[in-house]
Copies of this chain bind each other. A is one copy, B any other.
């Protein structure tokens, strides 16, 4: 359960108790799509880079190895070796983005697997059953993700469907949690606010789902093409209507500066593939901005990626070695880069929390909002 420890303006310092440990918030979730972090990091590596929450994807794990298989293996915690908090998404976002979509009805969605083309039906109940089989700490409600910009009428109808689906998710989750043999009978459910970029739809929807007394609330359907300013405006619009005593999760966001801005506006939880994806292309986050390790100027540079960073990579390896590994296309280069970038994100959250604790978030935010996303 969420406890608000301190507030600075709208920014919140809190903690969130779960059966798999307490999450200090604001927090960033490290993405392990197929039950593994890209770049060859294991659950045990995550401990060394101060990870609090691992996020895995329902859609991918439903297809491979299959959620029934994961259940037989004792759930994601036992399968991967990660003992901390795990959040699973609902599969919705991938169904709407990765899969070949056939049909959306009130009942759910028919789509074709991006792996083998197999025809699959997923609705709220299916998503809950899969997430129950995965045994995550936190399950996400099954929602429809519309692209921005979306026509008003479509967005409105879609939000209504998402609300209906949320009620079904809640009922199914309650049922599953009460069954014998459920891996995590304390599985939590977060609802997802939708409404495209329409303030009125967003606010009405947040009010509606806030009444359901869920374990947490996410803002979904952002960072999918709209300008960052629009995203910040939506957060500002819905924040007053999100329950104060529940965590707020901004899905799929974002750059370090996006996170600074969203924390400033009252968000507690984040996830994004950016740190690992950028790492695999040699784009590394530092406290002075983003560097491209492939750059010729690093050929003989014996400094660590970031002299301000305490991560296992910066303690041991030079920019010159990293650059060589990338040029030689050695897997080790990707691994070290991902490790550094995730550590950077986790440390960013730590510094945000420390500054909130100290009442100095405003100063920290003003200092770094013009630095961290800059390519140097």
Contact = CB atoms under 8 A, between A and B. Distances in A.
B334 A34 contact: no
Contact of A42 (B69, B79, B324, B332): B332
A65 to B, nearest CB: 5
Contacts of A335: 40, 42, 331, 335
A318 B79 contact: yes
A317 B80 CA distance: 7
A73 to B, nearest CB: 5
A41 B331 CA distance: 8
A291 to B, nearest CB: 18
Interface in A37-53: 37-44
Interface in A131-185: none
Interface residues of A, number: 42
Interface string A179-201: 00000000000000000000000
A79 to B, nearest CB: 5
A287 to B, nearest CB: 23
Given A79-B318, A299-B69, A324 B35 contact: yes
A330 B247 CA distance: 31
A330 B42 contact: no
A64 interface: yes
Nearest to A39: B331
B69 A300 contact: yes
B316 A79 contact: no
Interface in A319-366: 320-321, 323-325, 327-328, 330-336
A335 B44 CA distance: 13
B328 A36 contact: yes
A328 B40 CA distance: 13
A245 interface: no
A60 B60 CA distance: 38
B34 A330 contact: yes
A17 B332 CA distance: 30
12 contacts: A34-B328, A35-B321, A36-B330, A36-B332, A40-B331, A40-B335, A41-B332, A65-B324, A65-B328, A79-B324, A331-B331, A335-B335
List the 4 closest A-B pairs by CB distance, nearest first.
Answer: A40-B335, A40-B331, A40-B40, A36-B330
Interface of A: 34-44, 60, 64-65, 69, 72-74, 79-81, 299-300, 302, 312, 316-318, 320-321, 323-325, 327-328, 330-336
Given A40-B330, A79-B318, 17 more contacts: A34-B324, A34-B330, A36-B330, A36-B331, A36-B332, A36-B333, A37-B332, A40-B335, A42-B316, A60-B328, A64-B327, A64-B328, A69-B299, A69-B320, A69-B324, A79-B324, A81-B317
